[in-house]
Amino acid sequence: MHGLPYVVFIAALSALTSSCAASRLLQCNNLVAIANGATAEIEILTEDQNTQDPLIWLQAADTLDKAAQDMQTLGLDDPQLQQYQGEFVTMYTEIAKATRAYSQSYKELNREGVDVAKVKLEQAVQRETDLVDGVNTYCAAN
């Protein structure tokens, strides 16, 4: 009889651990789904890499704003995923803002404004690779 409570404790601990791993996996999947969805929408909008239509840029900015909002509303309880979530929100918001500035400057034929917005856009996009790699590595380990 002494062994039974120990087995029940081990079984309960195992179920809890398994549940946490499943929860983390679900959280990873939700975060990745939003990121992948935003990327897919942007790729569709910008299929023609030489597009000069500021309306397309504004649609891309709207897509990123929506992705930032969707990302922000994820109910993540994993601290590392919360950090990644915040980084995605910041990145999407900064890219959208720079894209809007670029579009406006382009419409106004403001070369200096275009150049400034382009630099800000490049800076915001620069962290994407490290962020995606970090999420993929973290989520694959769990």
pLDDT at 11 exceeding the cut of 80: no
What does the pLDDT read at residue 68? Answer: 97
The verdict on residue 108 lying in a domain is yes
> Any idea what the Cα angle at residue 90 is, between residues 28 and 116, rounded to 5°?
140
Distance CA 36, CA 96 (A): 16
The verdict on residue 69 lying in a domain is yes
The verdict on residue 100 lying in a domain is yes
What does the pLDDT read at residue 7? Answer: 39
The verdict on residue 16 lying in a domain is no
113 contacts 101 by C-beta, under 8 angstroms: yes
pLDDT mean over 127-140: 93
Distance CA 96, CA 88 (A): 12
The verdict on residue 2 lying in a domain is no
Domain limits for position 60 = 26-140
Residues 6 or more apart whose CB falls under 8 angstroms from that of 51 comprise 57
- Count of domains observed in the chain: 1
Instruction: Summarize pLDDT for 35-89 with one digit per residue, the tens.
Output: 999 999 988 888 876 667 788 899 999 999 999 999 999 989 999 999 999 999 9
Q: How many CA atoms lie within 13 A of 103 on its CB side?
A: 17
The verdict on residue 33 lying in a domain is yes
What does the pLDDT read at residue 77? Answer: 92
80 contacts 141 by C-beta, under 8 angstroms: no
Cα radius of gyration (the chain): 21
The verdict on residue 10 lying in a domain is no
pTM of the model: 0.80
88, two tokens: 């995605």
Lowest mean pLDDT across 27-36, 44-53, 93-102, 130-139: 44-53
Average pLDDT for the chain: 83
The verdict on residue 49 lying in a domain is yes
